[in-house]
Chain A
């Protein structure tokens, strides 16, 4: 019943390793978008404009409570209806970037709200403009406590990249599907993909925990 073929494993290993590269690139690019866009979304909720705050708040809630896979489909298929053609990679990165930006904006928000009031007042007393105040005083203090949450979402984004396979991004699951249907063998490809995910996400989670401990010690927390 258990017919695991090592020959087949070695035969498909190079393709899966190549796909692992794509998966890592997708996770990295998506995360880069999310880190920047998330900060913008977090700051947009702190402006004096009530309407803007309300709209961004609702957008974040909406994106966070609907499935990423549906958002990927939405962005991929709705663009062409309005004459915008996006490649699978492009729409995948936008979807995953936007989805995680909403999660990260909450992490940033928590970090910013944790900065003591005295710091805001001191920055005002020094006659700093709002931009200076955020850039030089608030953000540098808001990020370190948020690092743990940010790290968890990096691992999270990595584990969500298989959803990109549905629009044809050649990441791990997409490649495993292709190998499986070419050879009528699914045992090895899917099992190997599972092992590759474990082999990357477990050490990554460990490293993030170490890094978090390091930052906390550095800050004297």
Chain B
């Protein structure tokens, strides 16, 4: 069967899988960004307990593999009385994993804001919360956006692992089609191309646009 005949026959399933992948990506990204911000700020907090909480979280999620985290959340948590549906477990694991990597980027971004900015905010009598929200974070965001672009690609690739707990994403659908038809080159080739298109023509251009947009907002473009 030629590649195009194959696509003609199986495109609805591949597209459905890709839709699930996109949903997993968006949910995991939202969760990951929230966790990054939270843990990144906690790691810089003056309070020792908060700092150690963040360090523990980051080291656990960066020190083990995403597959292990996914299996743990999906197979072990129910034994401890917390059952999570597979779709939720999927983006939860991917988002929590990315959050640990993102936290280090947030921390780096905040530390890269010049000292004078902190002092100036203090001088005009801003509270610490105001200073962080209105002065430091916007500048930190611009500084850390380039590495976030790479992290978002890693996140997209990470969502492929949710197929291991049978979430019907693009990877899972490809495996199913492969198992029933043995058209491995066609199905896995098509899936590779779809992932590539998502990364190269959607995620990366969006992140580039965001970089330019934020730089303009701060008057740096």
Residues of A that sit less than 8 Å from B by CB: 1-2, 61-62, 64-71, 73-74, 77-78, 80-82, 159-163, 165-166, 173, 176, 180, 186-187, 190-191, 193-194, 197-198, 201-202, 205
Q: Is the CB of B64 within 8 A of A159?
A: yes
B119 beta carbon closer than 8 Å to chain A: no
Instruction: Report Cα–Cα, A209/B177, bound state, in Å.
Output: 45
Instruction: Report Cα–Cα, A190/B178, bound state, in Å.
Output: 28
Query: What residues on A are CB-neighbors of B174 within 8 Å?
Result: 70, 73
Main secondary structure of the interface of B (DSSP, over half): helix
Given contacts A77-B188, A202-B59, 17 further A-B contacts (CB under 8 A): A65-B157, A66-B196, A67-B157, A67-B160, A67-B161, A77-B184, A78-B185, A81-B185, A159-B66, A165-B67, A173-B67, A180-B75, A186-B79, A190-B68, A190-B76, A201-B63, A205-B63
Q: Is the CB of A162 within 8 A of B76?
A: no
Please provide the 5 A-B residue pairs with the shortest distance between their CB atoms, ordered closest to farther.
A65-B199, A67-B160, A77-B184, A162-B67, A74-B188
Main secondary structure of the interface of A (DSSP, over half): helix
Q: Is the CB of A160 within 8 A of B65?
A: yes
Q: Chain B residue with minimal CB distance to A200?
A: B63
Instruction: Report Cα–Cα, A162/B164, bound state, in Å.
Output: 11
Interface flags for B47-66 (1: CB within 8 Å of A; 0: not) read 00000000000011011111
B96 beta carbon closer than 8 Å to chain A: no
Instruction: Report Cα–Cα, A194/B68, bound state, in Å.
Output: 6
Instruction: Report Cα–Cα, A197/B65, bound state, in Å.
Output: 7
B136 beta carbon closer than 8 Å to chain A: no
Nearest-CB distance from B40 to chain A (Å)? 19
